[in-house]
Amino acid sequence: MIESREQALAADAADPLAFARQRFALPDGVVYLDGNSLGALPVGVPAAVADTVTREWGTNLIGSWNGNGWWSLPTRVGDRIGALVGAAPGQVLCGDSTSVQLFQALAGLVRLTPGRSRLITDEANFPTDQYLAASVARLLGLDLVRVSPPDLPGVLDERAAVVAFSAVDYRTGELWDAPGITAAAHDAGALVLWDLCHAAGAVPFDLDGIGADAAVGCSYKYLCGGPGAPAWIYLAARHHAALDLPLTGWQGHAEPFALQPRYAPAAGIERARIGTPPILAMRALDAALDAFDGVSPADLRGKSLALTELVLEFAATHLPDVVPATPGDPRRRGSQVSLRMPGAYQVTQALIARGVVGDFRAPDMLRLGFAPLYVRHVDAWDAMVALREVLASGEWRDPRFARAAGSPVT
């Protein structure tokens, strides 16, 4: 247990991931704990993007599709992400948005389960996941069933087609039992889609090992690919030959440059390609992934749990009016801590004014995300000391921290 700033500094000195912090451009005077919304900038990204713009685009022009590897970026970047989420090569493709990838995966899996009528999702899932599940259900004539993951057994029967959950609850940071849920769904004859937006890059995952059928994830959170970075899709190799994906763009064709009038899907994960990928964003993401080179998944998870444990222990010891929404059990915890408190929005703004950047989730949660590659133990300690001071002094009650009518909540 860390009980002082000196002990936090000692933990940083012994941190096996301490070398990784220098791989990020972090502003002075800021404790950045919002990497579960937008990751920090890796130092190699600006030069990589500049080279893509000035040399590859500016000089090599269209020749860069082959000469500089633009065409193969979706699969090469996909395999790099796959290595972080337990997917063997040839099963992850990068490109398009999380919403597009969710639609592709949901509809594709439903089509693999003919005669079944239920699409199951979490009633507290991220809104986009719920909206798209509802849309796919309407389009394909399914019943949409919303349940919390612990209640899944009650709706698993011969009607269940696809179960679509997030691995980590985006509000509370609770980590669900992905192996157990996947096995239960398969025992009932259903297929499983995992949303790893709040896991990839901070919580090691084993998609192949648990037998997942599909997964999606964004790359601008813990993967640090930048705002609007392309998302990715995992489709288990055993399904490739039978998958009938709904969005059949020209790049997913077996012979894309033959420009045939009828669609024939490419082999393997290439069939998940749709249209022209965002090359500049993909190059940024590719460079960002260099920050994970030489990083042990065990060290990543160990650091994440140590940081979140520090916060939970501090809250329990020093903040009597704060109630954690995040489980104390490390087996059930992602890489964030959500704390319930009165005036949570104003408290969040007061912390930001002090240089401690977290975010707010309605109605009453301060959410702190811990990216293990660049957040230090001393950062977590200083953030909690600042929170204690903000609450004790009452400075959060200052009118300047109140939410203006109609303003977005960030």
Active-site positions?
Answer: 126, 195, 220-221, 367
Asked if residue 339 lies in contact with residue 368, where contact means CB atoms within 8 angstroms, the answer is yes
CA distance 39 to 33: 9
Give the integer Cα–Cα distance in Å for 284 and 277. Answer: 13
Bridge partners, residue 168, by sequence = 175
Pair 90, 223: CB distance under 8 Å: no
Distances (CA, A) of 174 to 152, 171, 235, 288, 338: 16, 8, 25, 26, 9
d(CA 166, CA 188): 20
**CB-side exposure of 160: number of CA atoms within 13 Å?**
24
Bridge partner list, 192: 163
- For residues 386 and 407, what is the distance between their CA atoms, to the nearest angstrom? 25
Instruction: Report how far residue 196's alpha carbon sits from residue 167's, in angstroms, rounded to the nearest whole number.
Output: 6
409's tokens:
């909540």
Residues 6+ apart with CB under 8 A from 264: 253, 254, 255
Structure-block tokens of residue 125 = 């899932």
Residue 91 DSSP symbol: S
Rounded Cα–Cα distance for residues 26 and 217 (Å): 24
Task: With beta carbons less than 8 A apart as the criterion, state whether 286 and 73 touch.
Answer: yes
Return the structure tokens found at 116. Answer: 């079944």
Q: Which helix (H) or strand (E) holds 215?
A: strand 214-217
Residues paired with 175 in a beta bridge: 168
**Would you list the DSSP string of 315-367?**
HHHH-TT-EE-S-SSGGGB-SEEEEE-TTHHHHHHHHHHTTEE-EEETTTEEE
127-140 and 98-111 helices cross at what angle (nearest 10)?
Answer: 40
